[in-house]
């Protein structure tokens, strides 16, 4: 089937949020036919370097993951009413990657589901419903967690039980100061308590990924965690983006930042594209949740998904992908910082996660960022955008991304930037 036929069928039969007809009029659609490692090919045979996709965490179609899925699918796949050895083995191995008494797990299918459960865990422990998030974040698509997202307000407006605190942002003086951030959280807690909703928890990404990867350092959240716990609330840590070694130095973002969460959620990278996600929590938190909610998930932690997830852990460890990410990151960041263009206001990143902030006379330049993204796509490199105004270029490639791939991406980036008006 040709690209034009696929576009026509999409317009007639399918509501696809990333490829709706209006978007297709503005840019070439991503009609992807196959992938291998850090590369994908579209329906017309064009090859792209994937610097965007954290779903294929250990590379597209990794043979060990493919083999594990096929082997388990040929043996058994069913709902989660029954115990299965693969599921139990994976759960034991996964919680072994955590400290802070985080040693019980619930399996789900998506990160959105996992974050939804985390909110309910906070409610179960505290008996309250108030939630805090930053004012420039994203945590998923269920009704509950979509109320934390900030790109589009919910129907009827923002709910009163959700408070948004200013995200750390280099463009906002003082916002990357740990005491200032903790003060914002303390005020939000006081407002929730005064409103009658009470305070249940604070949900955050430990690297503030959608916020734009602001340059916070280990210890940044220490005062905030103290404030949250003093108020009786829980720290709900969304590791969907930084988890599973993406930062290179650590398995988890909270490890790098140096704080102890009460609940950790994971998603996309777990199964390298197979739909599996999880919530890890302390036994006391899990006990409160079980007492308050009769939760089940028909396919959360099914045998095939857990086989895929187990293979992902194998690949990360066997191929030394954390050390690889640290090495390649240092190389890529050094080259990115040598890029010359007047709109580049800052380059930052850790491991396989990079952000390049574009400003025009000190003001965010989302038009320039959008043009660079399209220019990179024209040169066979896929990237994205983050930040309050979508003005920060985001590179978040699969973990096998090497120095040779960094050279390709940064070369394309230099060319794409050269076409952007200054």
pLDDT digits (tens, 9 = 90+) for 129-139: 999 999 999 99
Residues 335 and 374 in one domain: yes
Domain annotation covers residue 23: no
SS3 of residue 47 by DSSP: strand
Residues 268 and 345 in one domain: no
Structural domain ending residue among the three candidates 318, 349, 369: 318
Nearest to 395 by CA among 209, 252, 244: 209
Structural domain ending residue among the three candidates 267, 299, 318: 318
Structural domain ending residue among the three candidates 288, 318, 348: 318
Write the Ramachandran bin of 395: left for phi over 0, alpha for psi from -120 to 50, otherwise beta. beta
What is the domain range of residue 212?
63-318
Residues 227 and 369 in one domain: no
**What's the distance, CA 238 to chain centroid?**
8
Domain annotation covers residue 25: no
pLDDT in the model for residue 28: 56
- pTM, to two decimals: 0.92
Residues 284 and 226 in one domain: yes
How many domains does the chain fold into? 2
pLDDT in the model for residue 200: 98
Domain annotation covers residue 7: no
Domain annotation covers residue 3: no
Euclidean distance between CA atoms 117 and 101, whole angstroms: 19
Domain annotation covers residue 10: no
Give me the residues of the chain with pLDDT under 70, please: 1-30
pLDDT in the model for residue 81: 79
pLDDT in the model for residue 16: 61
pLDDT in the model for residue 421: 85
Residues 370 and 228 in one domain: no
Residues facing 281 on adjacent strands: 104, 263
Domain annotation covers residue 76: yes
Residues 134 and 225 in one domain: yes
């Amino acid at each position: 089937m040709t690209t034009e036929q696929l576009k026509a069928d999409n317009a007639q039969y399918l509501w696809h949020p990333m490829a709706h007809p209006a978007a297709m009029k503005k840019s070439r659609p991503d009609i992807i036919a196959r992938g291998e490692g850090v590369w994908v090919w579209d329906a017309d045979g064009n090859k792209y370097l994937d610097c965007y996709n954290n779903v294929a965490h250990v590379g597209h179609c990794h043979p060990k993951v493919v083999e594990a899925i096929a082997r388990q699918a040929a043996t058994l796949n069913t709902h989660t009413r029954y115990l299965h050895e693969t599921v139990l083995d994976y759960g034991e191995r996964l919680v072994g990657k955590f400290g802070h008494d985080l040693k019980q797990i619930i399996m789900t299918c998506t990160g959105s589901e996992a974050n939804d459960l985390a909110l309910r865990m906070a409610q179960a422990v505290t008996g309250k419903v108030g939630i805090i998030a930053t004012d420039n974040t994203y945590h998923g698509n269920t009704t509950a967690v979509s109320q934390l997202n900030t790109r589009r307000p919910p129907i009827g407006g923002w709910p009163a039980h959700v408070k948004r605190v200013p995200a750390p942002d280099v463009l906002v003086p003082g916002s990357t100061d740990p005491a200032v951030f903790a003060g914002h959280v303390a005020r939000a807690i006081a407002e929730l308590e005064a409103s009658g909703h009470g305070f249940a928890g604070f949900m955050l990404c430990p690297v503030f990924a959608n916020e734009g990867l602001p340059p916070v350092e280990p210890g940044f959240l220490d005062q905030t965690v103290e404030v949250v716990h003093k108020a009786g609330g829980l720290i709900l840590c969304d590791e969907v983006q930084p988890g599973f070694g993406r930062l290179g130095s650590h398995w988890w973002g909270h490890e790098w930042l140096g704080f102890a969460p009460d609940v950790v959620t994971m998603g996309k990278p777990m199964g390298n594209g197979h739909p599996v996600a999880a919530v890890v929590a302390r036994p006391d938190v899990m006990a409160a949740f079980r007492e308050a909610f009769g939760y089940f998930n028909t396919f959360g932690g099914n045998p095939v998904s857990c086989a895929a997830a187990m293979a992902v852990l194998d690949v990360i460890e066997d191929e030394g992908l954390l050390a690889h990410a640290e090495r390649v990151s240092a190389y890529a960041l050094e080259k990115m910082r040598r890029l010359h263009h007047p709109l580049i206001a800052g380059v930052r990143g850790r491991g396989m996660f990079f952000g390049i902030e574009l400003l025009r006379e000190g003001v965010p330049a989302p038009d320039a960022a959008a043009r660079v993204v399209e220019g990179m796509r024209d040169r066979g490199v896929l990237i994205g955008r983050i930040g309050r105004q979508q003005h920060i270029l985001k590179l978040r490639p699969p973990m096998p991304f090497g120095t040779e791939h960094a050279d390709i991406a940064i070369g394309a980036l230099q060319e794409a930037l050269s076409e952007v008006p200054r």
